[in-house]
Amino acid sequence: MKTWNLEALYPSFESEEFQQALNTIDDMVEQAIAFATKELTSTDDAHRKLKDYLTHAEKMRSIVHRSYAYCSLTISVDTLNEDAAKYMNRLQATMAKTALPSTLFAKWLPQVENLDELIETDPELKEVEFYLKRIVDGSKYVLTDKEEMIISKLQQTGSTAWGRLQGELTSTLKVDYDGKDITLSEVRNLSSDPSQDVRKAAYEAEQAAYPKIAQAVAYAMNGVKGEVNIISEMRGFASPLAQAVYNSRMEESTLQALISSMKTYLPHFHKYLKRKAELLGHKNGLPYYDIFAPVGESNRTFTEEEAMEFIFDNFKTFSPELEGLARRAWEEEWIDFTPRQGKRGGAFCSNLHPIKESRIMTNFTGSFSNVITLAHELGHAYHGDRIFKEKVFNSSYTMPVAETASTFCETIVKNAALKEADTEEQIFILEQSLKGSTQVIVDILSRFIFEQNVFDARKTTPLNVRMLNDMMLAAQQEAYGDSLDPDYMAPYAWLNKPHYYRGGLSFYNFPYAFGLLFAKGIYAEFVKQGAPFVDKINLLLQKTGQMTVEDVASLVGLDLKSQSFWDSSLEVIKQEIDLFLELTA
């Protein structure tokens, strides 16, 4: 069992380093409050005050990020770890106090009349110009000092606590499969098993297990979405979606173009799903338990070492830097690979700016799709490596561009594997690619529709398990059409996705579609231009923390407000679908 090493953060919770960090954070928060309440009452000597605030905030962010990451990473693979939970709660409570200085600064900064002049004449301020001007622009959504403090504190026992409940319940849920209790992650991994009997039995076991925790998780959903509805309205946003678009640093016209393009191309995905259903012997559409079924001949499985070697070989077709980053992640134990009791499902990458490293969690069991997941998360780590070159204020990139490097790396691995395969393995690899694209376009669309409907409904009524199931089924039917078997859908798909339970991060669904199609467009340009384009991609990734998504795209000549761009990227996937239909005719 290969697990990650977190000692670069701290040796242990009991260590002098970690305990000292907690005390330092307490002191720095109090200093920030004292400074803001005393100094940010006027714009006299604004230049000094601005520099002092930023210097202190940068140091505080670094130590908080390092300490909180140690807790959150620990609890993600050991959800019942009492120390991690205790210190995470302490840090959350401490950081809630920073709402006051942050609010005071957000209100003070727009009052600095010569801010533009200060920025232009000070190289250090010029470096964080985007960050400062976003604060000025966002000040219209900032509430009173008292309201911001109350919200920050209540969120710790509100959406944050509800999110932890969902994570703990799903990670510790016992699923009765084949006479044994296994984890939800383990049973969901069986969805890609070569045996249809195994896939169906796993699906039925998974669906049978959800009612054990469904009511509690439904309360969590209501708690989170109710909170977000109230706060977004208080801030003056038209809706939680409008807030998500603003926080994504994108324009509504870009999202509209993306969603419109996705809907336009749904019939092509339906053709793929219906063909897959035929190949697997189904006559009434594809049952949900076979969505991830392997198609084509490939009995290849991977050990962790083999998976990484496969990734090394393919990453070097892009650049030595990308291969080197992946090797570093392997050699320095950045990756926690396999599922186990108490470990959360899914996969993620955490970029740790204070130590210029990343950590990756997967639930690796040896399948080709697991290798693709590894490539995806290593793409996030590569993005982090680019961002580490910037100041911490320029390191926070938004959700839509967050999936760009990861999806780009998936594309590298898939396309390289496709070239060296025979016909049967081509079908397998191609179907693996289409399976992922279908999830990111069709399933993501269903989740986007579902979340919109949940927010709207939650304004007037609490939502019970039956209502949430019905809303999920309706959203799936809208996105999948008649390509799925109506007798085997996924009514509880709202329960196992942690993204729904993050109060500060609504609509974490459309960014995946954005990232896939953005990456497809960038990859097409890389194929055309070759090695000289690598530097442009690296620059794009490095600047994602200090530009709107539209401006980021302009660095490589792309217009995101035009549906034709998204159509051209989806056309690439349509060509894969057409080839799949041809090879399986």
Whether residue 120 is predicted with pLDDT greater than 70 in this model: the reply is: yes
Tell me if 518 is assigned to some domain: yes
What is the percentage of the chain residues whose pLDDT exceeds 70? Answer: 100
pLDDT at 348 over 70: yes
Average pLDDT over residues 525-535: 89
Reply yes or no on whether the pLDDT at 279 is more than 70: yes
- CATH code at position 133: 1.20.140.70
How buried is residue 472: exposed, middle or buried, by Cβ count under 10 Å (0-12/13-18/19+)? buried
Residue 537 has pLDDT above 80, yes or no: yes
Average pLDDT over residues 96-117: 93
Residue 324 lies in a domain: yes
The mean of the pLDDT values for the chain is: 94
pLDDT band at 345 (very low <50, low <70, confident <90, very high): confident
Mean pLDDT is lowest, of 119-128, 184-193, 251-260, for 184-193
Q: Is residue 406 part of a domain?
A: yes
Domain count, the chain: 2
Q: What is the pLDDT of residue 157?
A: 94
Tokens of 399: 């959700």
Give the C-alpha separation, 518 to 219, whole Å: 36
Reply yes or no on whether the pLDDT at 153 is more than 80.
Answer: yes
Cβ atoms of 34 and 102 closer than 8 Å: no
| CATH number of domain containing 378 | 1.10.1370.40
pLDDT-above-90 percentage for the chain? 82
Where residue 226 falls among pLDDT bands split at 50, 70, 90?
very high
Q: Average of pLDDT values for 16-25?
A: 98
Residue 344 lies in a domain: yes
Q: Once rounded to an integer, what is the mean pLDDT over residues 521-545?
A: 90
CB 403 within 8 A of CB 515: yes
Residue 363 has pLDDT above 70, yes or no: yes
Average pLDDT (25-30) is 97
Cα distance between residue 21 and residue 69, in whole Å: 13
pLDDT at residue 100 is higher than 80: yes
Distance (Å, rounded) from C-alpha 409 to C-alpha 320?
14
Position 377 in a domain: yes
Q: End of a domain among 93, 123, 157?
A: 157
Q: Of the given ranges (46-60, 207-221, 296-310, 458-472), which has the lowest mean pLDDT?
A: 296-310
Q: What is the pLDDT of residues 203-220, one digit of tens each?
A: 999 999 999 999 999 999
Q: How confident is the model at residue 201 (pLDDT cuts 50, 70, 90)?
A: very high
pLDDT confidence band for 1 (50 / 70 / 90): low
Whether the per-residue pLDDT at 57 is higher than 80: the answer is: yes
| Residue 260 maps to a domain | no
Look at residue 375 and tell me whether its pLDDT is greater than 80: yes
In the numeric block, which tokens belong to residue 504?
């500060």
User: Which among 121, 136, 157 is the end of a domain?
Assistant: 157
| Residue 358 β-bridge partners | 351
Q: Is the pLDDT of residue 166 over 80?
A: yes
Give me the residue label for tokens 């799709």.
369
Average pLDDT of the segment spanning 77-96 = 94
421: pLDDT strictly greater than 80 = no
- pLDDT greater at residue 346 or residue 182: 182
d(CA 421, CA 130) in angstroms, rounded, equals 46
The boundaries of the domain holding residue 310 are 304-419+510-563
Residue 181 has pLDDT above 90, yes or no: yes
Residue 143 lies in a domain: yes
Look at residue 416 in the predicted model and tell me its pLDDT: 79
Which one of 112, 141, 157 terminates a domain?
Answer: 157
Query: What pTM does this model have?
Result: 0.79
Return the H-helix or E-strand segment holding 350: strand 348-352
pLDDT tens profile 459-492: 999 999 999 999 999 999 999 999 999 999 999 9
In a domain, 181, yes or no: no
- The first and second tokens of residue 542, run together, are 């490095």
Distance from the first to the final alpha carbon of the chain = 42
Distance of alpha carbon 417 from alpha carbon 136, whole angstroms: 48
pLDDT value at 301 more than 70: yes
Tokens (6 digits) for 272: 């793929």
